[in-house]
Amino acid sequence: MNSSEESAVSAMSAGRSAMRMGPAELVQAAAMARRFYLEGKSKIQIAEEFGVSRFKVARVLETALERDLVRIEIRVPAELDAERSDALRARYGLRHAVVVESPAPTDDADDSPDPENLGEVAAGLLGELVNEGDVLGLAWGRSTIHMAAALDVLPPCTVVQLTGVYDAGTAERGSVEAVRRAAQVSGGDAHPIYAPMLLPDAATAGALRHQTGIARAFEYFDKVTVAAVSIGSWEPGISTVHDMLSDEERAHYASLGVAAEMSAHLFDGEGRRVGRDLGERCITVEADRLRRIPEVVAIAGGQRKAAAIDAVLRSGLVTSLVTDTAAADLLLVAGSAPRPALDRADPDGD
């Protein structure tokens, strides 16, 4: 038999062995798989134990997978949707996208606010993103308040409030308390803002910004490394800013094409900032400062917010998103493919 014939016979034998394994081979394959997948031993260690080459070990492990002796499953907690998360991250060019299962639908599901489990998942994400010595910024929003309440682990960091509160009379139950809670969990300093988000005019807002406590919080804005923000659509009950304005003011900003609101900044459907005069009346982090923060996590979900989330993701101000399956399904089919969020485009640019 010449060398070519020997090679052919060898290949045929290899093919037969790959298709059929005897009892001794099955037992050996199971033992090697146990060492590799369960005990964490290297292929070299397994080869030494069984007196074979590491290449043989590699072939046996491959065969064990092919013959279903070993099953590899990728599991995430039931409330997380890994497939939608990855698809959403890729579509918008985000650093992180986490999609959670939407609550079971009810008769008034369309009128429900962000699912509370978004805050719980966002709290876990912040635990991953925040490092010791960071400055964490929290903007007003129901979702960020739920997130702060769910925090249980956070490295030592400074926590600063990025916006005023919806109503100064509710500070203890809103943004101020969220900042205090996060600082308590981290063991760091808290810099709350005891002022309303929206003021009657620009002069009043300007005067408040120069008050000692508020000015001190503003000094930290350029130092923020991780921020958490909420998103609102331009509808009653879905945007706190919308609800604070008069009917005439709402109609005016609606005429400018407002599709979304985030931290008192307004955006049209393409993510361009509109109604900039509103910001002059607000106690909030400026859009350009927000864009320079390395990690900005938006927390928002529900079908009614999908278009608003799409607009804000197109703005270049957000790097990561926590949302739910109801919003994600609409976002994955929404309009033309956006510019990658990590480009951090200027929402005030042309």
CATH of the domain at 38: 1.10.10
**Alpha-carbon span 319 to 321, nearest angstrom:** 7
Q: Provide the CA 266 distance to its chain's centre, in angstroms.
A: 21
According to the model, what pLDDT value does residue 106 have?
56
Q: How many CB atoms within 10 Å of residue 222?
A: 11
122 pLDDT higher than 90 = yes
Taking residues 218-245, what's their average pLDDT?
A: 88
CATH of the domain at 106: 3.40.50.1360
Residue 279 pLDDT class (50, 70, 90 cuts)? confident
146 pLDDT higher than 50 = yes
Q: Same domain for 307 and 231?
A: yes
Q: Same domain for 213 and 319?
A: yes
CA distances, 93 to each of 176, 237, 325 (Å):
32, 30, 18
Q: 113 vs 82, which has greater pLDDT?
A: 82
According to the model, what pLDDT value does residue 19 have?
47
| Predicted TM-score (pTM) of this structure | 0.76
Q: Same domain for 272 and 144?
A: yes
Q: Same domain for 113 and 241?
A: yes
Q: Is position 62 within any domain?
A: yes
Q: Same domain for 211 and 246?
A: yes
According to the model, what pLDDT value does residue 17 have?
41
Structure tokens at 268: 């049209």
Residue 204 pLDDT class (50, 70, 90 cuts)? very high
Q: Same domain for 239 and 117?
A: yes
CA distances, 150 to each of 10, 182, 226 (Å):
62, 9, 17
According to the model, what pLDDT value does residue 117 have?
81
- DSSP state letter for 259: -
299 pLDDT higher than 70 = yes
Question: pLDDT averaged over the chain?
Answer: 85
What does the pLDDT look like over 98-109, one tens digit per residue?
999 887 665 554
Cβ atoms of 262 and 270 closer than 8 Å: no
Structure tokens at 285: 């982090």
Residue 172 pLDDT class (50, 70, 90 cuts)? very low
Which of 29, 94, 21 lies closest to 56 in space, CA to CA?
A: 29
Q: Same domain for 266 and 311?
A: yes
Rounded to 10 degrees, the C-alpha dihedral 49/52/58/61 comes to -60
140 pLDDT higher than 90 = no
Q: Same domain for 31 and 88?
A: no
Q: Same domain for 61 and 90?
A: no
137 pLDDT higher than 90 = yes
Q: Same domain for 293 and 206?
A: yes
The number of domains in the chain is 2
Range of the domain at 303: 80-343
User: At which residue do the structure tokens 């260690």 appear?
Assistant: 45
According to the model, what pLDDT value does residue 214 have?
92
Angle at 21 between CA 15 and CA 27, to 5 degrees: 145
Cβ atoms of 137 and 295 closer than 8 Å: no
Which of 254, 280, 263 lies closest to 143 in space, CA to CA?
A: 263
15 pLDDT higher than 70 = no
Strand 260-262, strand 265-267: pairing: antiparallel
Q: Same domain for 205 and 296?
A: yes
Residue 5 pLDDT class (50, 70, 90 cuts)? very low
Taking residues 132-148, what's their average pLDDT?
A: 92
According to the model, what pLDDT value does residue 8 have?
38
Q: Same domain for 91 and 115?
A: yes
Taking residues 292-308, what's their average pLDDT?
A: 94
Cβ atoms of 166 and 241 closer than 8 Å: no
Residue 9 pLDDT class (50, 70, 90 cuts)? very low
